[in-house]
Amino acid sequence: MSKLSRNPKYHNIFGIGILLLLAIIVLLPLIIVFITSFTTVETSPGNTSEQSWSFVYYRDAWQRGKFLLAFWNSTIVALAVTAFQIFTSALAGYALARLKFRGKQALLLVVLATLVIPFQLLVIPIFLVLKWGNLINTYGALILPTAVNGFGIFLLRQFFLTIPVELEEAATLDGANRLQILWRVMLPLARPALVTLFLFTFIAEWNDLFKPLVFTTRPELRTVQLALAEFQEQFTNNWSLMMAAVTIATLPVMILFLIGQRQFIRGIATTGIKN
């Protein structure tokens, strides 16, 4: 065996090199988008093209796409849906993890079954319900259809199962009821899972195009993804302008993920498959 293969230092360098190579491959599309958004092509009198760097496309994309209104609508919808899902998932997840009642396993299977049903399959009945409730072209049409999610219920249920029962028994001896135990004991300990659910839900709602496209027609309710879709139709030939718009729309969720990535990784790592 060679000295190179026996030295752990070289193994670490080799591993870091592989990870850097994979990171470059994964980030390459984002790098291309970012570089293209700053590239300005100018044609000189001699029919020669020159490339230069400029922020002009970001200014034009922000103004033409009306991203201020789109950001406002997307933020309201994403935060509202996230709050609803955390609330409903915490209650349902705790009940499925700790309460004993008849049909609990069957109910859990029903919750899991909802994960394999595409939202597009339910769009017609949801549209009819929203129309019956006069919610079409309102924030309610963008929030209520995804206010409850089976993934969030299952995620928190799995995390609650990892928390020792002795903590709840001690709280019960101190006179706490079920809701107090959930609020004061379980949820503080479930912070990594809550952050994970927050990131999943917020990013999914921010990137959602289907609900705004089907349930709204008012320009005042246009979200970020609708603005991007309209942008593509109007300015297809200007790739730099399109890439600037994509960067503007993507930047908030990237910053949000970077802020919460540590809790996100911890939540995924500690939420295992447990009966």
> pLDDT of 145-182, one tens digit each?
999 999 999 999 999 998 889 988 898 888 888 889 99
Residues 6+ apart with CB under 8 A from 76: 139
More confident residue, 268 or 15: 15
The C-alpha atoms of residue 101 and residue 37 are separated, in whole angstroms, by: 57
What is the H or E stretch that residue 42 is in?
A: strand 39-43
| Position 36 confidence tier, pLDDT thresholds 50, 70, 90 | confident
pLDDT the model gives residue 223: 93
Please state which of the four CATH numbers 3.40.1640.10, 2.130.10.10, 1.10.3720.10, 1.10.10.10 is assigned to the domain occupying 67-270.
1.10.3720.10
The C-alpha atoms of residue 259 and residue 144 are separated, in whole angstroms, by: 27
Per-residue pLDDT reduced to its tens digit, 81-98: 999 999 999 999 999 999
Closest CA to 156 of 194, 189, 124, 188: 194
The C-alpha atoms of residue 148 and residue 138 are separated, in whole angstroms, by: 18
pLDDT of 219 > 50? The answer is yes
pLDDT the model gives residue 51: 62
Please give the average per-residue pLDDT across 257-269, as a whole number.
72
The C-alpha atoms of residue 198 and residue 83 are separated, in whole angstroms, by: 8
User: Residue 241: left (phi > 0), alpha (psi -120 to 50), or beta?
Assistant: alpha
| Position 264 confidence tier, pLDDT thresholds 50, 70, 90 | low
